[in-house]
Amino acid sequence: MLECVDLQCERGHRQLFDRLSFRVDAGQCLQIAGDNGAGKTSLLRILCGLLSPNSGEVRWQGRPINRVRDEYGADLVYVGHLNGVKDDLTAAENLQVWAAMADLPTSAEQVVQALRMLGIERFAHWPAGQLSQGQKRRIALARLAMAARARVWILDEPFNALDRGGVQVLNQMIEQHVARGGAVVLTTHQSWEAPVPVTRLDLPAGGGA
């Protein structure tokens, strides 16, 4: 589904990786591993299309992602370092707005369901600014529960700020997503007991030469 060809990325005159090629198929879970500064986040942002590589390209269904941005976006959920949650909106409003912007038809019931899945339906009508980091992370991850038809999940340190219960829930969601034939690309620096078989991609230490 997703294919990377000869990616090369430089940040601030330092080469992070070079001639990086790999593919992610349906039902595959790919974990990007590497030290701090190895370029994990940059690679994920390149995969999303937020960052363009210095050379090489990312292809979605065989076509470069910057040509099929809209189709690719509809099939992608990205949870980055930043939660993308507005402090002045409630948890439920945050999800509703996100779905409306992505043109996902969503009922109030679906929003509550997604929040329930993440165990934060009690806070549905609280302003997100009054919630803890972990709870905000759960709002961000609730997007995964809402966009069931999205085929690719790209998760940057999704377990950050999550407690044990949260990790369990996310593991469950990843398991179901992979079982449905979805693909997951994620980074994590915590020891992670993956619920599904994981392919590992190691980025060269210290950003390579």
- Could you tell me the smallest distance in angstroms from the CB atom of residue 88 to other proteins? 4
158 sits near other proteins (criterion: CB under 8 A): no
3-state secondary structure the chain: CEEEEEEEEEECCEEEEEEEEEEECCCCEEEEECCCCCCHHHHHHHHHCCCCCCEEEEEECCEECCCCHHHHHHCEEEECCCCCCCCCCEHHHHHHHHHHHCCCCCCHHHHHHHHHHCCCHHHCCCEHHHCCHHHHHHHHHHHHHHCCCCCEEEEECCCCCCCHHHHHHHHHHHHHHHHCCCEEEEECCCCCCCCCCEEEEECCHHHCC
Q: Which position has the token pair 């590992």?
A: 200
Question: Using the rule CB under 8 A, which residue among 23, 63, 69, 180 binds other proteins?
Answer: 69
109 sits near other proteins (criterion: CB under 8 A): no
Question: How far is residue 16's CA from residue 180's CA, in Å, rounded to a whole number?
Answer: 33
Instruction: Specify the residue, 105 or 197, whose C-beta has the smaller distance to other proteins.
Output: 105
13 sits near other proteins (criterion: CB under 8 A): no
Stretch that binds other proteins, among 13-21, 70-78, 109-117, 182-190 (CB under 8 A): 70-78
CA atoms 85, 88, 92, 94: torsion sign: negative
- Could you tell me the smallest distance in angstroms from the CB atom of residue 200 to other proteins? 25
98 sits near other proteins (criterion: CB under 8 A): yes
76 sits near other proteins (criterion: CB under 8 A): yes
193 sits near other proteins (criterion: CB under 8 A): no
Instruction: Specify the residue, 107 or 168, whose C-beta has the smaller distance to other proteins.
Output: 107
> Can you give the length of the chain in residues?
209
159 sits near other proteins (criterion: CB under 8 A): no
Question: Using the rule CB under 8 A, which residue among 12, 13, 62, 101 binds other proteins?
Answer: 101
97 sits near other proteins (criterion: CB under 8 A): yes
- Could you tell me the smallest distance in angstroms from the CB atom of residue 100 to other proteins? 3
64 sits near other proteins (criterion: CB under 8 A): no
Interface with other proteins: number of residues (CB under 8 A): 31
CA distances from 146 to 35, 107, 138 (A): 32, 10, 12
89 sits near other proteins (criterion: CB under 8 A): yes
Q: Which residues bind other proteins (CB under 8 A)?
A: 48-52, 69-76, 78, 80-89, 93, 97-98, 100-103
